[in-house]
């Protein structure tokens, strides 16, 4: 009898001395009732999936659905037929020990009753009445144990839709001083890589500012997708590496940014773990949150309770920003960001509703050439010639030698080897002699003390390679002056130390 054989498979896969799962009992004839019962379990096994189990002939016919029960008839999901489970499994949740079959935590995600229209060996058509899922579904076998699940009813929430997949982060405007007055929230300025995080069906995709998918470089952030389970969200935050004194270190992060080999990526994820520091929410469960004011977006972000070993949602300060500014100075961080509490999220836009106030001058520059070093560095890179876009022209800004380490020099030499050229890419400014020119494709971060009247930087020091930035977007950052009422006007003042 087939049912008995299938529960034997359930039994054979498990050690009931080790797992808290219910033991297999003989298939029982269900008491006759109008509707049969179903359960959907969220199973954080080696790979997150949802288990759909339908009561049938005294057992639970089961499918593992890696992306969960589809909400939209336009998107079918893979469903893998697994062994029948005993009826006791309808209420099972718990921790299956590591190393056992299906090891990991299992929770009941939805339960309810269903009506059957069809229940064949390769097609099952049911109407589910759960707490979360309502509607008519068909499961159909495509090959072997591979099935698909398709929603036959229209989406339950007709306004629900998927986020655009090319959202760019909202950017802050450099301000000469902190804005006064009410209406501002304060955050620390994190020195890392800005990343938009798309989470759908328990999977996360991380996209950098210039649109590159950087997900595979940060395997420790994959679990954030699993943590969010069936929720679909788009997050905004910064990927940060911390040094031994818990300060964000862009220098350490550099070692994570340019790695291709999977084994090196895995090793570095252990040696230099990163954290995804979350500060905004762009999409939540099928709906944009970008039109909501900052304060409301932050509330919804906080309610997601995303605080783990590799991701955090630090609180923001509402008021004069004194506490946040003090922390940023005490720990010698980059600065602070002030955000208007009533501002909406404007993707890809540099807005004056977000103001960055830096503790020291630093910005990105485009590399246009290099000079060999003297003494020990003869023949290799001694300094970089950097500039910024001024209209259509690359304006020379200065020579950066300080801060260049052996590792950075090796990486720069590798990058330059494909981009050598004879003529200068600079169209303005006084470029020194004896320069090896390169195509203006590489962005670096440079700290400096001040701008000269002719548009050069003084006492520059190299901070790192910014492979996440588009060289065409690099301009001279001019701080705006902040009026007493928090209004902003364009200016070119030196950023004071707060």
Sign of the C-alpha dihedral computed for residues 445, 450, 455 and 456 taken in this order? negative
Closest Cα to residue 492, out of 176, 64, 106?
A: 176
Closest to Mn ion by CB, 19 or 208: 19
Q: Does residue 189 carry a catalytic annotation?
A: yes
Give the residue at shortest CB distance from Mn ion.
43
Closest CB 49 distance from Mn ion, rounded Å: 6
Do the bridges between strand 287-288 and strand 146-151 make them parallel or antiparallel, or are there none, so unpaired?
A: unpaired
Closest CB 122 distance from Mn ion, rounded Å: 21
Q: Which stretches of 309-409 are assigned E, i.e. beta strand? A: 311-312, 317-318, 335-340, 350-358, 361-372, 381-390, 393-400
Closest CB 144 distance from Mn ion, rounded Å: 18
- Name the active-site residue from 34, 118, 189, 339: 189
Closest Cα to residue 275, out of 317, 243, 227?
A: 243
| Strand, helix or coil for residue 229 | coil
Taking CA atoms, 176 is separated from 96, 189, 377, in Å, by: 56, 15, 38
Closest to Mn ion by CB, 19 or 383: 19
Closest Cα to residue 335, out of 476, 188, 194, 462?
A: 188
Per-residue tokens: 425? 């890419």
Closest to Mn ion by CB, 50 or 345: 50
Closest to Mn ion by CB, 51 or 364: 51
Closest to Mn ion by CB, 106 or 214: 106
Closest to Mn ion by CB, 25 or 46: 46
Closest to Mn ion by CB, 51 or 236: 51
Closest to Mn ion by CB, 51 or 83: 51
Buried b (16+ CB within 10 A) or exposed e, 432-463: eeebebbbbbbbbbbbbeebeeebbbeebbbb
* Distance separating alpha carbons of residues 27 and 5, to the nearest angstrom: 10
Closest CB 103 distance from Mn ion, rounded Å: 10
| Strand, helix or coil for residue 264 | helix
Q: CB 227: neighbour CB atoms within 10 A? A: 20
Closest Cα to residue 436, out of 380, 397, 393?
A: 380
Q: Phi and psi (nearest 5°) for 229?
A: 55, -125
Q: How long, in residues, is the chain? A: 498
Closest Cα to residue 52, out of 62, 43, 42, 37?
A: 62
Rule CB under 5 A: which residues touch Mn ion? 43, 51
Closest Cα to residue 169, out of 279, 297, 292?
A: 279
Q: Phi and psi (nearest 5°) for 294?
A: -45, -50
Point out the residues that are catalytic: 189
């Amino acid at each position: 009898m087939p049912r008995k054989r299938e529960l034997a498979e359930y039994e054979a896969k498990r050690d009931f001395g080790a797992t808290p799962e219910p033991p297999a009992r003989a298939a029982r004839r269900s008491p006759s009732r109008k509707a049969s019962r179903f359960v959907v379990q969220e199973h954080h096994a080696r790979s997150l999936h949802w288990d759909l189990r339908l009561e049938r002939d005294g057992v639970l016919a089961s499918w593992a659905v890696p992306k969960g029960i589809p909400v939209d008839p336009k998107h079918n999901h893979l469903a893998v037929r697994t062994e029948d489970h005993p009826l006791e499994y309808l209420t099972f949740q718990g921790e299956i020990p590591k190393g056992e079959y299906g090891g990991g935590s299992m929770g009941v995600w939805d339960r309810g009753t269903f009506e059957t229209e069809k229940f064949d060996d390769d097609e099952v058509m049911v109407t589910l009445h759960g707490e979360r899922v309502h509607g008519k579904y068909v499961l159909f076998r495509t090959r072997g144990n591979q099935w698909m699940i398709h929603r036959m009813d229209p989406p339950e929430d007709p306004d629900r839709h998927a986020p655009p997949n090319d959202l760019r982060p909202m950017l802050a405007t450099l301000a000469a001083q902190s804005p006064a007055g009410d209406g501002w929230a304060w955050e620390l300025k994190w020195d890392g890589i800005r990343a938009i995080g798309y989470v759908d069906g328990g999977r996360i995709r991380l996209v950098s500012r210039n649109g590159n998918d950087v997900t595979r470089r940060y395997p420790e952030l994959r679990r954030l997708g699993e943590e969010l389970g069936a929720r679909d969200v788009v997050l905004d935050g910064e990927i940060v590496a911390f040094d031994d004194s818990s300060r964000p270190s862009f220098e350490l992060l550099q070692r994570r940014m340019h790695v291709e080999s999977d084994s090196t990526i895995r090793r570095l994820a252990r040696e230099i773990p990163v954290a995804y520091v979350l500060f905004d929410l762009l999409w939540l469960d099928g709906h944009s949150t970008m039109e909501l004011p900052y304060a409301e977006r932050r509330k919804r972000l906080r309610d997601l309770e995303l605080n783990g070993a590799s991701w955090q949602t630090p609180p923001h300060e509402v008021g004069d920003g004194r506490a946040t500014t003090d922390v940023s100075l005490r720990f010698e961080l980059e600065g602070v960001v002030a955000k208007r509490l009533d501002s909406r999220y404007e993707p890809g836009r540099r807005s004056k509703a977000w103001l960055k106030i830096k503790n020291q001058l630093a910005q990105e520059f485009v590399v246009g050439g290099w000079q060999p070093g003297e003494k020990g560095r003869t023949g290799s890179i001694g300094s970089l010639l950097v500039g910024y876009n001024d209209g259509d022209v690359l304006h020379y800004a200065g020579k950066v030698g300080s801060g260049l380490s052996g590792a950075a020099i090796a990486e720069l030499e590798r990058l330059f080897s494909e981009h050598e050229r004879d003529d200068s890419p600079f169209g303005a400014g006084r470029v020194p002699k004896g320069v090896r020119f390169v195509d203006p494709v590489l962005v670096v971060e440079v700290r400096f003390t001040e701008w000269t009247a002719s548009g050069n930087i003084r006492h520059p020091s190299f901070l790192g390679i910014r492979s996440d930035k588009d060289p065409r977007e690099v301009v001279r950052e001019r701080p705006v002056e902040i009026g007493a009422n928090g209004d902003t006007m364009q200016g070119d003042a030196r950023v004071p130390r707060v």
